[in-house]
């Protein structure tokens, strides 16, 4: 039986290189960095219905306007044709939301995606127990591919070392490579910025690697 496996976001060579870079960044900052990628942070069940409703409304209005202007003398045929065209376009739009992530994103608001990706990141932070480091210096960087969003969640032990403004700047710098689907480059930028910004934190009892450096890849919801 063929298993439905998810295609990795990173090649094996990229993964090994980045995990070594994570270990290096942790030594230079004293923090515990966890990188995660997820295909999508929510199922967004409303997208197909939104696409159907909006496209049906727009197409219906367009066809009706053309009917009035050009074909007012054959109303019976035009009514049936208008209904068929409207439903066909709306159904095609619905199908496109399933087949094309780019088209589906057109029906999502910025606030909706921001909320869902942040909730997914917070859930991952808790489920992976990233709060369990001795000095609360764990930090999660989550890349959600469908939404094209990045969330960085530092634990409270890093609150004096990296500000909200710093996080926004890092995410902003990651946008260009992510637009071109260059996940490796985006993560490298983030790690370089962590090294530049975070002052070296003291380790406790020589424990410098409390969290796994293995990059997490999930399918999501």
- pLDDT value of residue 70: 61
Distance between CA 114 and CA 132 in Å, rounded?
26
Instruction: Mark whether 82 and 113 lie in a shared domain.
Output: no
pLDDT tens sequence across 102-157: 888 888 888 899 999 999 999 999 999 999 998 899 999 999 999 999 999 999 99
Instruction: Mark whether 98 and 188 lie in a shared domain.
Output: no
Flag whether pLDDT at 1 surpasses 50. Answer: no
Instruction: Mark whether 39 and 132 lie in a shared domain.
Output: yes
148-152 contacts at long range (C-beta below 8 A, 24 or more positions apart): 148/105, 148/178, 148/179, 149/41, 149/113, 149/114, 149/117, 150/174, 150/175, 150/178, 150/186, 151/117, 151/118, 151/120, 151/121, 152/190
Distance between CA 16 and CA 6 in Å, rounded?
19
- pLDDT value of residue 206: 47
Instruction: Mark whether 126 and 19 lie in a shared domain.
Output: yes
Flag whether pLDDT at 71 surpasses 70. Answer: no
Domain count, the chain: 2
Taking only Cα atoms into account, the Rg of the chain, rounded to an integer number of angstroms, comes to 24
Q: Is residue 165 domain-resident?
A: yes
Report the predicted TM-score, pTM, of the whole model to 2 decimal places.
0.83
Flag whether pLDDT at 213 surpasses 90. Answer: yes
Q: Domain of residue 80: give its range.
A: 46-105
């Amino acid at each position: 039986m063929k298993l439905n496996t998810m295609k990795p976001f990173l090649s094996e060579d990229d993964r090994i290189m980045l995990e070594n870079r994570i270990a290096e960044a942790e030594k230079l900052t004293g923090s515990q960095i966890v990188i995660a990628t997820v295909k999508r942070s929510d199922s967004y069940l409303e997208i197909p219905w939104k696409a159907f409703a909006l496209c049906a409304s727009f197409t219906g209005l367009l066809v009706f306007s053309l009917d009035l202007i050009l074909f007012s003398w054959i109303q019976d045929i035009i009514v049936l044709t208008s209904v068929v065209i409207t439903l066909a376009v709306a159904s095609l739009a619905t199908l496109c939301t399933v087949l094309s992530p780019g088209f589906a994103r057109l029906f999502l608001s910025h606030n909706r995606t921001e909320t869902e990706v942040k909730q997914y990141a917070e859930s991952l932070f808790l489920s992976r127990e990233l709060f369990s480091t001795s000095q609360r210096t764990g930090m999660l960087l989550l890349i959600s591919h469908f939404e094209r969003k990045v969330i960085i969640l530092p634990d409270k032990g890093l609150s004096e070392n990296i500000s909200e403004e710093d996080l926004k700047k890092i995410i902003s710098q990651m946008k260009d490579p992510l637009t071109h689907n260059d996940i490796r480059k985006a993560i490298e930028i983030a790690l370089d910025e962590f090294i530049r910004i975070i002052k070296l934190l003291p380790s406790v009892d020589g424990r410098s690697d409390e969290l796994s450096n293995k990059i997490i890849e999930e399918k999501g919801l």
